[in-house]
């Protein structure tokens, strides 16, 4: 039985989907005005692993991850660039897909864009206005009346009176209470807008997700997820407007990935420690970055540093070295092992990927021991287990040689390295051990590690 930490109840609960055998999950996606950063990667990879594991357990997962393609930030950036906002969003969506593909993130079942759901958004706002949960202000905006929902704050555990106390209303706004939030924003002349019963305008941010999630998954669905910064006010506001519009519970289980810190400080553009996914992938292989993110529990904070990335690379290399030269057994289905059972046990405990990584290394240790003792068939079976369990985390699906010898922009090509290895072999054959050692040292200085065995010499990049 899978147990998931539910942010709503602040405890782990046995997961029981609304419809047996099927999981409906919605995760808040990107606002596409810039390239995705490391915090986005954390969310993308975390919920990719969760989806993979649920499917491994036999669930039919309908995974929806939205795209916010209309927003103040988008319009400002497009104006700065001197381009149509749709050109900006199309370009950033394409870049996002490139980044997630490199990180091994599977595509969601559906990826709705806010601009494609304007009619549904307007219909939901209309329902809220008609039921007294929202009101049209004098400036053409439409606001949700937070005090009309008695359970406001149940996700974040914030009290409405604390939110209102001392808060100020922006002079440009016409809402009744500081806690109220915009469902529809009136457009100034020349701004991007759509027609509505309240005049020309565009949707507020929070209402987009309520409309898209309920349209794609129904009034009540199993899991709602996102980054830690979305818990309040975004997810709190989603609950309020959705449950007032439908009269139903919005989502059963709320999941939030942990924050990214850089050298023990919060990642922030203002601090100058803000990294995009593609910047990081210029320096590190994509699978190493994924391993780094997966090796921590999805709810924990992750500290990004050069040292931690390097350690992730070393740890992943150990797993690929265990697989090197071992052809995983394909003769029938490899029977379930104690490692399989332990892997399931830790993953059933709120998707504990840190524990799952430990299981992978235990399997790798078995392979190494079995090979040392000449038990090749057992090593092949263990290799099959390692590849199978790794796939659930989106790891270890490359050919070991491809990973270990991947060109990372070093001085030497594969052909150069092979030539030097042959020159070293010739020197050793001629008993010129000084020259052989010199070649080994030269390769080591350039990040090439040689491994000698009875079968010959193999190499890998450090």
> Which of 225, 404, 223 is CA-nearest to residue 325?
404
Q: Quick check: 320 and 396 in contact, CB under 8 A?
A: yes
Q: Quick check: 55 and 108 in contact, CB under 8 A?
A: no
**Is residue 22 part of an annotated ligand binding site?**
no
Place of tokens 């010129």: 432
Interstrand relation of 260-262 and 265-266 (parallel, antiparallel or unpaired):
antiparallel
Neighbouring residues of 203: CB distance < 8 A, sequence distance ≥ 6: 70, 114, 118, 121, 122, 125, 183, 184, 185, 211
The SS3 assignment for 32 reads: coil
Instruction: Identify the helix (H) or strand (E) that includes residue 29.
Output: strand 22-31
**Is residue 36 part of an annotated ligand binding site?**
no
Which one-letter DSSP state was computed for residue 247? S
Which one-letter DSSP state was computed for residue 114? G
Cα 295 vs. chain centroid, distance in angstroms?
A: 13
Distance CA 311, CA 291 (A): 10
Distance CA 24, CA 27 (A): 10
**Is residue 330 part of an annotated ligand binding site?**
no
Interstrand relation of 221-226 and 251-256 (parallel, antiparallel or unpaired):
parallel
Neighbouring residues of 282: CB distance < 8 A, sequence distance ≥ 6: none
Neighbouring residues of 138: CB distance < 8 A, sequence distance ≥ 6: 174
The SS3 assignment for 288 reads: helix
- Number of neighbours of residue 72 by Cβ within 10 angstroms: 12
Token digits for 13? Answer: 């609960």
Neighbouring residues of 457: CB distance < 8 A, sequence distance ≥ 6: 421, 424, 425, 450, 451
**Is residue 244 part of an annotated ligand binding site?**
no
**Is residue 234 part of an annotated ligand binding site?**
yes
Distance CA 235, CA 329 (A): 47
Exposure string of 310-340, with b = 16+ CB inside 10 Å and e = fewer, is eebbebbbebbbbbbebebbeeeebeebebb
- Number of neighbours of residue 136 by Cβ within 10 angstroms: 18
- Give the residue numbers of the binding site for ATP: 269
- Give the residue numbers of the binding site: 28, 209, 234, 238, 269
- Give the residue numbers of the binding site for Zn(2+): 28, 209, 234, 238
């Amino acid at each position: 039985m899978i147990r998931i930490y539910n942010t709503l109840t602040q405890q782990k609960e046995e997961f029981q989907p609304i419809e047996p055998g099927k999981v409906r999950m919605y995760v808040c996606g990107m606002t596409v005005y810039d390239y995705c950063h490391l915090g986005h990667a954390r969310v993308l990879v975390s919920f990719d692993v969760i989806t993979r594991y649920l499917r491994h357990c036999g669930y039919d997962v309908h995974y929806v991850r939205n795209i916010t393609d209309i927003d103040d930030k988008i319009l400002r950036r497009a104006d700065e660039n001197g381009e149509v906002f749709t050109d900006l969003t199309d370009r950033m969506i394409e870049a996002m897909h490139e980044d997630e593909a490199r990180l091994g993130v599977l595509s969601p079942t559906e990826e709705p864009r806010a601009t494609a759901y304007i009619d549904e958004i307007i219909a939901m706002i209309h329902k809220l206005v008609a039921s007294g949960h929202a009101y049209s202000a004098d400036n053409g905006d439409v606001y949700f009346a937070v005090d009309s929902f008695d359970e406001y704050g149940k996700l974040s555990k914030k009290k409405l009176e604390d939110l209102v106390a001392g808060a100020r209303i922006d002079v440009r706004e016409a809402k009744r209470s500081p806690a109220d939030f915009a469902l529809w924003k009136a457009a100034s002349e020349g701004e991007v807008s759509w027609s509505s019963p309240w005049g020309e305008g565009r949707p507020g941010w929070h209402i987009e997700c309520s409309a898209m999630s309920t349209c794609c998954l129904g009034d009540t669905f199993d899991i709602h997820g996102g980054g830690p910064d979305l818990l309040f006010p975004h997810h709190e506001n989603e609950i309020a407007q959705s449950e007032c519009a439908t009269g139903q519970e919005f989502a059963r289980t709320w999941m939030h990935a942990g924050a990214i810190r850089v050298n023990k400080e919060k990642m922030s553009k203002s601090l100058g420690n803000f990294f995009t996914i593609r910047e990081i992938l210029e320096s590190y292989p994509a699978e190493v970055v994924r391993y780094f993110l997966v090796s921590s529990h999805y709810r924990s904070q992750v500290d990004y540093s050069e040292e931690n990335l390097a350690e992730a690379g070393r740890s992943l290399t150990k797993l690929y070295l265990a697989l090197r030269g071992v052809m995983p057994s394909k003769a029938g289905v490899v029977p379930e092992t104690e490692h399989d059972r332990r892997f399931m046990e830790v993953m059933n405990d709120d998707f504990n990927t840190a524990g799952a990584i430990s299981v992978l290394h235990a399997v790798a240790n078995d392979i190494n021991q079995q090979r040392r003792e000449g038990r090749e068939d057992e090593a092949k079976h263990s290799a099959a287990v390692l590849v199978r369990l790794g796939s659930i985390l989106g790891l270890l699906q490359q050919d070991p040689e491809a990973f270990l010898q991947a060109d990372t922009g070093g001085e030497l090509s594969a052909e150069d390295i092979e030539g030097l290895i042959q020159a070293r072999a010739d020197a050793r054959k001629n008993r010129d051990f000084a020259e052989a050692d010199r070649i080994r040292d030269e390769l080591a200085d350039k990040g090439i590690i040689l491994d000698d065995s009875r079968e010959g010499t193999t190499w890998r990049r450090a």
